[in-house]
Amino acid sequence: MAQEISAQERAHNFGIATRQNYQMLPAAAVSGENTMVQFTLPKARLLSKIYLNVEAIATLKSKGTAIQTHDFSPYSILRRVSLDLNNGFIPYMLGGRELYLYNALRLNPDVLLPGKTDRCMNYIETAATAEGKDAKIKFTLELPIALNQRDPMGLVLLQTADSAVTLTVDVETLAKAYSLNTSNGDEVLFKSMKITPMLETFTIPPIPAAFPDISTLKIVSSKAETFSGNGQNIVSLSTGMVYRKFMLLFEDKDGNPLSDEDFQSNLEIVFNQADIPYSVKASVLSHINHSQLGYTLPKGVYAFDLTNQGIPNLGGSRDFIDTENLNEFWIRFSTQKGGKVTIISENLSRLR
């Protein structure tokens, strides 16, 4: 009788019997704003990560000398990024702003901020003239498919005849990369744009005992819900999956981020209406996030990173939230203002 091999043993064997591959896909030119580009991933190897490289040129017009950026520049020019598998699973479906926030839960998250040269991971030019001046926008965002660089769980098998994996990018207006000043007559015009994915894949091991456990998928998504002010608010989250991390972006009715002082209660995670494992003052959670990341999250953003046990994304499963046996899973809070909360979550779901 063959001995059963554990997932941990398979992961160890996989690390010995595979090797990493970087492969660029052909660039797709974006014909204009409010359009979509799509990529079909090649049927080769095991998919571990997608690097999404975006390059655009905008013409900036203003009575001033520059057009200002905002906390989410320039990622908001991506309306939606989705990765679709033909088995019904969608590992990624969220906007560029939300994908940036998800990427922030990493080592050295400040690399996601605008840099001084176009060799930086994020670069956006802001100089403008009344006649119009061309400005470069360049950035790369990551879509990690596996749990992390150590644990192969979540890898997607591309090398089968039945696999059909599609990456779709919906584009917004380039004006979303900037904070426009109407008194200056700020205007952002589309000139050109292209999107180029790069795939990180791993070779399929030659021995069955080294083939990793791919029965679990990682799913990253976002949803938004409105809430009222001056009272308790409850946002219900989906049950049936394992939560590894989630971020909350709070905005008022005008789209401005809430401050720590706008909260009248702690931010709470609630199981089955009564069990409250996390109840944290907003300002203290901001400080915890700063301590964990060495980086201050944008105003109105709070993270519960259940994978961080000293190093972002590399902790064990100790604090994961398994909601399979929960009837209710809530986020509860009270605010002075009404508005909208966007929840960005990373979950694990087992293939049935």
- Residue-wise pLDDT for 18-61, tens only, equals 999 999 999 999 999 999 999 999 999 999 999 999 999 999 99
Is the pLDDT reported for residue 1 higher than 50? no
Higher confidence at residue 149 or residue 199? 199
Q: What pLDDT is recorded for position 352? A: 61
Please state the rounded mean pLDDT for residues 342-350: 96
**101-111 pLDDT per residue, tens:** 999 999 999 99
Percent of the chain having pLDDT more than 70? 99
In the chain, how many H helices and how many E strands? 3, 20
The listed CATH number (3.50.50.100, 2.60.40.10, 3.20.20.80, 2.60.120.20) that belongs to domain 215-350: 2.60.120.20
Residues in CB range of 35: below 8 A, 6 or more apart: 170, 171
**Given the DSSP bridges, would you call strands 92-94 and 216-227 parallel, antiparallel or unpaired?**
parallel
pLDDT exceeding 90 applies to what percent of the chain?
Answer: 89
Q: What angle do CA 248, 250, 301 make, to 5 degrees?
A: 50
pLDDT at 2: 52
- The domain locations on the chain are 7-208, 215-350
Backbone angles phi, psi at 317, to 5 degrees: -90, 10
**Tens of pLDDT, residues 283-334:** 999 999 999 999 999 999 999 999 999 999 988 899 999 999 999 999 999 9
CB 78 within 8 A of CB 172: yes
**The domain defined by 7-208 carries CATH number 2.70.9.30:** yes
DSSP string over 295-331: SPPPTTEEEEETT-SSSTT---STT-EE-TT-S-EEE
CA distance 298 to 100: 11
